[in-house]
DNA sequence: TGGGGATGTATCGGCTCGATACATCGACGC
DNA sequence: GCGTCGATGTATCGAGCCGATACATCCCCA
């Protein structure tokens, strides 16, 4: 399919353009400054994504004052369309595995300020469950292992477990903060559906 | 190219089969138990990789006692060939970006017991440089940012920086340990060529 | 006046994943 | 005996995404 970039880049681009119109190069810089610790987007996926979003009418080329155009160079500045804003809201509303897997969680989190409190909470909890599943899986596999492991393998396991445990603790704090914040303003404790 | 899986899976498979012959399903389970905290291999890449390694003569199907074959089922057990062992040694000797990037570092580390001390040290240092580059890039980008960031973005940055700083500290300890270990047994400090 | 580095758009090859399909095995109840 | 259910097991396909690369311009500085 020509341009169904489908996943995380779409949200990242739409979310960035929601702040201000940007061109590809600058967009990538911002994205990598924002998420550089977790992932790095490349042009090989960014430009096809932009083309796809353009074809879908979710973004549009902005034509600024002609004075800004230097020489014959075209600096293609993209901005969000009304449809794009709708689509962004739609993406921000979805709380599912696509939001809390490794590759996508960071991007969703980065745009939490545009996300409803309830969705935020569900994504954080989903992420936590995901990590706990992983901890369980590795721990049981480790316990089931008969052979003695060498010190490097052990050290790798230890470091991995510790890192994931740390992230779970971080999520716990965030979840607690979210709960406190939502219990204050609206004392609605009965609507804890699902 | 039909089957040039090229990168990290090759080492993971070869390294696992070096311990003991395995079939695909079990191979994947072991790999994911070993590296589950960092990455998860899928059949979609494992089986093509096995086919490719088979075609290259680096692994071979093991034909055990016919009694093991239940019914018409073929449980394809792979073992390392002599060429495969050579190739494994070759892969374990290489200390380059391919060894210390995110996706591959864990796999290389997991087989450090088969790696020469000098190569281990270079991979650990390369990994550390890589992470420090990333820290620098994000820190300068952060310092250069004019607009005020919302609390979620800030928290994401903080958490990301802290995680990477932690890994750098971990690497520092490992490097120190390696250095101590290599200075004790052989007091050869002159042969630090390249 | 010319070289180097940042800016800028774009593509191609190919690795890898998630989903899926299909088949068998052992255990369990009835 | 018979259905079924979960674990075991091999295999492929569509599609996303990255790394490398190419090419052009801008601007600074010597």
A residues 173-192 lying closer than 8 A (beta carbon) to B: 174
pLDDT at B6: 54
pLDDT in tens, B5-19: 457 899 999 999 998
**Burial letters for A144-163: b for 16+ Cβ neighbours within 10 Å, e otherwise?**
eeeeeeeebbebbbebbbeb
Query: For residue A36, which residues of chain B lie inside 8 Å, CB to CB?
Result: 134, 137-138, 141, 160
Alpha helices in chain A (DSSP H): 8-19, 24-35, 43-55, 82-93, 97-100, 102-110, 117-144, 151-183
> What pLDDT is attached to residue A47?
92
A-B interface: how many C-beta pairs under 8 angstroms?
86
Q: What is the pLDDT of residue B40?
A: 84
CA angle B38, B42, B43 (to 5 degrees): 155
With beta carbons under 8 A apart, name residues in chain B contacting A160: 36-38, 106
Tell me the pLDDT tens digit for each residue of A79-136.
Answer: 999 999 999 998 999 888 888 888 889 999 999 999 999 999 999 999 999 999 888 8
Closest CA to B16 of B4, B28, B2: B28
Question: According to the model, what pLDDT value does residue A6 have?
Answer: 54
> Which residues of chain A neighbour B159 with C-beta distances below 8 Å?
170
Q: What pLDDT score was predicted for residue A1?
A: 37
Q: Is the pLDDT assigned to residue A192 strictly greater than 50?
A: no
Task: Say if B150 is an interface residue toward chain A (CB within 8 Å).
Answer: yes
pLDDT for B11: 92
**Is B174 a residue whose pLDDT tops 50?**
yes
Tell me what pLDDT residue A184 has.
Answer: 66
Work out whether the CA dihedral B35, A32, A116, B162 comes out positive or negative: positive
Q: What's the pLDDT at B113?
A: 93
- B-chain CB neighbours of A169 within 8 Å are none
Q: Is the dihedral of CA A118, A113, A134, B177 positive or negative?
A: negative
Please check whether residue B161 touches A, CB under 8 A. Answer: yes
What's the pLDDT at B74? 67
Cβ within 8 Å of residue B10, ≥6 positions away: B49, B53, B87, B91
Compute the average pLDDT of residues B102-124. 92
When pLDDT is averaged across residues A128-155 and rounded to a whole number, the result is 86
Q: Which of A59-68, A161-170, B153-162, B165-174 has the lowest mean pLDDT?
A: A59-68
Residues A164-186 have a mean pLDDT of 89
Does residue A168 register a pLDDT over 80?
yes
Output the CA–CA distances (angstroms, integers) from residue A22 to A36, A44, A181, B100, B173, in the order listed: 18, 18, 34, 33, 43
From residue A177, give the alpha-carbon distance in Å to each of A101, A114, A117, A124, A127.
22, 17, 11, 11, 16
B44 touches strand C (CB under 7 A): yes
Report whether B135 contacts B40 (CB < 8 A): no
What average pLDDT score do residues B128-157 get? 87
Q: Residue A174: is its pLDDT beyond 90?
A: yes
Cβ contact, residue pair A160, B38, below 8 Å = yes
Alpha-carbon span B164 to B123, nearest angstrom = 17
> What is the mean pLDDT of the segment spanning B134-150?
83
* Interchain proximity B33–A174, CB inside 8 Å: no
- Measure CA to C1' and name the residue nearest C25: B70
Interface test with B, best of A30, A104, A112, A152 (most B CBs within 10 A): A152
Confidence at residue B5, expressed as pLDDT on a 0 to 100 scale: 43
- pTM for this entry: 0.85
Sequence-separated (6 or more) residues with CB below 8 Å from residue B23: B75, B76, B77, B78
* Residue A25 approaches strand C within 7 Å at CB: yes
pLDDT digits (tens, 9 = 90+) for B17-71: 998 899 889 999 999 888 888 888 899 999 999 998 998 889 998 865 444 444 4
- Identify which of B99, B131, B167 has the alpha carbon closest to the alpha carbon of residue A160: B167
> Which residues from 51-110 of B have any strand C atom under 7 Å from their CB?
70-73, 103
* pLDDT given at position B94: 85
pLDDT in tens, A32-90: 888 888 888 899 999 999 999 998 899 998 875 444 444 445 688 999 999 999 999 98
């Amino acid at each position: 399919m020509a341009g169904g970039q489908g996943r995380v880049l779409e949200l990242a681009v739409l979310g960035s353009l929601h702040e201000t119109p940007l061109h590809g190069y600058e967009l990538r810089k911002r994205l990598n400054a924002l998420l550089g610790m977790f992932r790095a987007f490349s042009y090989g996926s960014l430009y096809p994504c932009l083309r796809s979003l353009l074809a879908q009418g979710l973004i549009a080329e902005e034509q600024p004052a002609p004075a800004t155009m230097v020489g014959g160079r075209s600096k293609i500045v993209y901005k969000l369309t009304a449809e794009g804003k709708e689509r962004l809201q739609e993406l921000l509303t979805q709380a599912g595995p696509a939001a809390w897997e490794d590759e996508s969680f960071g991007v969703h989190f980065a745009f939490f300020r545009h996300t409803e409190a309830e969705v935020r909470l569900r994504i954080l909890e989903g992420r936590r469950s995901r990590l706990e599943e992983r901890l369980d899986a590795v721990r049981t596999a480790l316990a089931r292992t008969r052979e003695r492991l060498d010190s490097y393998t052990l050290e790798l396991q230890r470091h991995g477990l510790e890192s994931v445990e740390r992230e779970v603790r971080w999520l716990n704090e965030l979840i607690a903060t979210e709960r406190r914040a939502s219990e204050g303003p609206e004392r609605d404790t009965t609507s804890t559906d699902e």
